[in-house]
Amino acid sequence: MGDVDILVSEVGPRDGLQSIGTVMPLEAKKAWIDAEAAAGVREIEVGSFVPAKLLPQLADTTELVAHARTIPGLTVAVLVPNAKGAEAAIRAGAHKLTLPLSVSETHSLANLRRTHDQVIDEAVTIARLIQALPPAERPHFEGSLSTVFGCTLEGTIPDAQIARLAALLMDAGCDEVGLSDTTGYANPATVRRIIALVRDVVGDEALTGIHLHNTRGLGLANALAALECGLTTLDASLGGLGGCPFAPGASGNIVTEDLVFMLEAMGLRTGIDIERLLSVRKIVAAALPGEELYGFLPDAKLPLGFVHAKNLEYV
């Protein structure tokens, strides 16, 4: 990643907004994305190609992809629930597609209305769509193992099932798999264990990212465990907005501002200007009156004498 040690992927415009009742105006979303990119955020999940009747909060994803693509250096990511959504994402010009495959089949049926086998079939179709494009136009294709640390509907998922589905995603044509703590069940020990389990199946290069929730207050501890295992992409949501509407009690993505502060305080370069990132909250708060934003750094502020990792002298 060049001059960045850890890629912080902002998922607020998608995961942050899909769980709240308020529909953020399109122009406010554009301002949010513009401001985060200006602060140095290099990847933003701007929405999801799902039917507007299901998630009206994300009905303008096509327009957001078009807008975000005009920002130099920004990777424009989207979530796609199926091949139809992937076709729309490809037409719109998204750089990265994520297909969620819940390792809990009960959750998969609630979230995507598809069995495991049906989601794998969708992955195969999406991979074929991508391979039919000229190499320079192919988006990156990630298969996300949702509820991989546990499910509010099924509980703990057997390791063998997780491993089997990870292998099936790669066999279907995904470029990589990601891990998603959809329900906030993870702890540092299970993060380390599941990373090792999935890596044994897909290899180190095909597992680089993790999506964590802070439902039980372990979000940053789990992020640190993932870092210690060598993962280099961490999802987060500005103000801690978000959660899965189809997993009861699954609230609270890790807070982008707090995550960036932790990484930079550890001497890891994110490329993100924390002061400018904090100012983005004003845009989001103004567009979502009444919605609570979370985070410790916004209240505590930066410590006296804090130095960004990019300004540290390495010996």
Residues annotated as part of the active site? 244
Residues contacting residue 247 through CB under 8 Å, at least 6 positions apart:
107, 110, 111, 147, 151, 152, 153, 182, 183
* Cβ neighbours, 10 Å, residue 4: 17
* Tokens of residue 163, six digits: 């491993």
CA count, 13 A, side-chain hemisphere, 13: 36
Return the SS3 of 108.
helix
Closest listed residue to residue 280, CA positions, set 27, 29, 45: 29
CA distance 13 to 25: 11
Phi, psi (degrees; rounded to nearest 5) at 254: -65, 150
CA distance 180 to 151: 11
